[in-house]
């Protein structure tokens, strides 16, 4: 007959606990384990684990199935990447330059280099790692090269700001 399920059942508590543990593991693998740094001197990595491209999303290698890569990849694909394919490329980070996890209650600045190497556009979006949604009560979720009023520095670089409040005069960024 199976185990009866009710909102306060022991099974629900076990499943919720297991789900939270798996989420924590996949986030840790995605941020700390699977993806090597894209740039040697920065915290950025490709949003797609290396096995995704090498195996055509099967994670089947000679002699083994990369279940950790597959799990972390699916975590990424279903939580943050919106348009996966050959026409797009995603880089991600969850840490500041000191290696600490980013904190939505703090302010950060990211400087994009002059002439970002993209064909059509670039976009920077901040997601909540708890549930892969945008942060609540924010006036905007991200910044894109197509945004009106985007301030470009005299040297062509662009400063992108993250945090609870934009610096005065830099709300577009």
Q: Tell me, what's the pLDDT at 138?
A: 72
Q: Tell me, what's the pLDDT at 66?
A: 84
**173, 150 Cβ separation under 8 angstroms:** yes
Which residues 6+ apart lie within 8 Å of 26 measured at CB? Answer: 71, 72, 75
Q: Which residues of the chain have pLDDT under 70?
A: 1-8, 30, 33-34, 43, 47, 75-89, 129-136
Q: Tell me, what's the pLDDT at 98?
A: 85
Q: Tell me, what's the pLDDT at 87?
A: 53
Q: Tell me, what's the pLDDT at 115?
A: 82
In angstroms, what CA-CA distances link 33 with 51, 71, 101, 142, 170? 13, 12, 14, 26, 35
Q: Tell me, what's the pLDDT at 155?
A: 96
Phi first, then psi: what are they for 115, rounded to 5°? 55, 60
How does pLDDT run across 16-62, given as a tens digit for each residue? 888 888 877 777 776 776 677 777 777 677 767 777 778 887 888 89
Length of the chain: 173
């Amino acid at each position: 007959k199976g185990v009866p399920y009710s909102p306060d059942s022991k099974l629900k508590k076990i499943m919720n606990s297991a789900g939270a543990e798996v989420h924590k593991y996949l986030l840790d693998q995605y941020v700390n384990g699977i993806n090597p740094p894209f740039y040697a001197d920065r915290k950025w990595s490709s949003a797609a684990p290396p096995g995704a491209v090498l195996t055509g999303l099967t994670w089947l290698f000679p002699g083994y199935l990369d279940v950790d890569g597959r799990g972390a990849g699916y975590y990424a694909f279903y939580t943050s990447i919106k348009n996966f394919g050959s026409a797009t490329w995603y880089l991600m980070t969850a840490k500041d330059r000191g290696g600490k996890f980013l904190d939505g209650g703090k302010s950060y600045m990211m400087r994009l280099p002059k002439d970002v190497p993209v064909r059509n556009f670039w976009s920077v979006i901040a997601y909540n790692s708890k549930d892969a949604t945008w942060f609540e009560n924010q006036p905007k979720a991200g910044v894109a090269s197509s945004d009106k009023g985007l301030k470009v520095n005299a040297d062509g670089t662009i400063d992108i700001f993250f945090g609870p409040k934009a610096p005065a005069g830099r709300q577009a960024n």
